[in-house]
Amino acid sequence: MNAAIQQPPATLLAKPWKLDFVLLAAIWGASFMFMRLAAVEFGAFATAGIRVGIAAAFLLPLLWARGHVGVLLTHWKLALVVGILNSAIPFACFSYALLSISTGLSSILNATVPLFGAVVAWLWLKDRPNGSRVLGLLIGFVGVALLAWDKASFKPDASGTASGWAVLACLLATLCYGIAASFTKRYMSGLPSLVSAAGSQIGAAVALLPLTWWFWPDHAVSPQAWAAVLALGVVCTAVAYILYFRLIERAGPARALSVTFAIPVFAVMYGVVLLGEAVTPWMLLCGVVIVVGTSLSTGLVALRRHPR
């Protein structure tokens, strides 16, 4: 996580990056809506499996054109692990969660990714946070606890689902993202970014293939659901990865990481306008607390002592 808090060189800031930032936030914000539309008909595992399969098929020719296939074959075991942690489990968890909670709530919970990343880096990589970052961790987890306390219930509702399990699934997904970040830093540093992106999607597709086949829907799937899962694979996964790595190159890791905080803005807007979802003031308040805590815990914002 140290790389995520370093300030980018001045030469990076000279390159245009703001459009990439907004596009990436808008695309990843839309992924929650598309997952919702797809999971209702495909189910959680099939939605996740098709998503990574399409992304892998999109990225593999790019990997081949860059001449990086040999690099991927050398490091295929690492790519498989990253694919499971960074795509297979999180995508399945969010697809499951969106069957019973709103896209806005799930996107706010997704904003805890840097929070869990900081904790995992602390425990695993011994990246010990300073005082303001520890304070940020505490604030962030308070925000999560308040949001979960208000929204999580383990009693089945009218549809037979319980929002509590959905909230836990979202938090499991964000924890996996945090573990994957430290795993990538420790074992895959120096590999071309396209190898990590394509390899992880191929690994996730292989891991999810048995579950995708087993849980494949036994009913006809509408064109709307197919369009949603196609958008997930091509736009929200393959194209988004390309934008993300270009954003790191142009704006630096710190600004690239901060895109996580803009995603809920778009996700909530899509949910309200296109899906008719309701957003409560409590959700927004908890979202602000989570974003403030995460900003402090990752070092994007620091508390400084003024000299007396």
Summarised one tens digit per residue, pLDDT across range 126-137 is 877 777 878 888
Q: Which of 17-31, 34-48, 246-260 has the highest mean pLDDT?
A: 34-48
pLDDT at 206: 95
Query: Cα angle at 255 between 96 and 122, to 5 degrees?
Result: 70
pLDDT band at 30 (very low <50, low <70, confident <90, very high): very high
pLDDT at 157: 63
Summarised one tens digit per residue, pLDDT across range 288-300 is 888 888 778 767 6
Q: Which two tokens stand for residue 200?
A: 């992880």
140 vs 99, which has greater pLDDT?
Answer: 99
pTM (2 decimals)? 0.84
For 151, other C-beta atoms within 10 Å of its C-beta total 20
Q: Which of 6-20, 47-61, 111-125, 255-269 has the highest mean pLDDT?
A: 47-61
H helix runs in 111-192, sequence order? 113-124, 131-151, 163-187
**Coil, strand or helix at 101:** coil
pLDDT at 230: 96
Report the distance separating Cα 227 and Cα 216, nearest Å: 17
For residue 43, give the nearest of 233, 168, 217 by alpha carbon: 217
Q: What are phi and psi of 303, to 5 degrees?
A: -90, 125
pLDDT at 62: 92
pLDDT at 51: 96
Mean pLDDT of all residues belonging to the chain: 84
Summarised one tens digit per residue, pLDDT across range 201-243 is 999 999 999 999 999 999 999 999 999 999 999 999 999 888 8
- Assess whether pLDDT exceeds 80 at residue 44: yes
User: What residues contact residue 46 under an 8 Å CB cut-off, 6+ apart?
Assistant: 212, 215, 216, 217
Residue 21 near residue 247, CB atoms below 8 Å? yes
C-alpha torsion angle, residues 18, 85, 2, 8 (rounded to 10)? -20
Report the distance separating Cα 82 and Cα 121, nearest Å: 16
Residue 102 near residue 277, CB atoms below 8 Å? yes
Provide the percentage of residues in the chain whose pLDDT is more than 70: 85
Residue 20 near residue 250, CB atoms below 8 Å? yes
Summarised one tens digit per residue, pLDDT across range 154-203 is 666 655 567 888 989 999 999 998 898 888 888 887 788 888 889 999 99
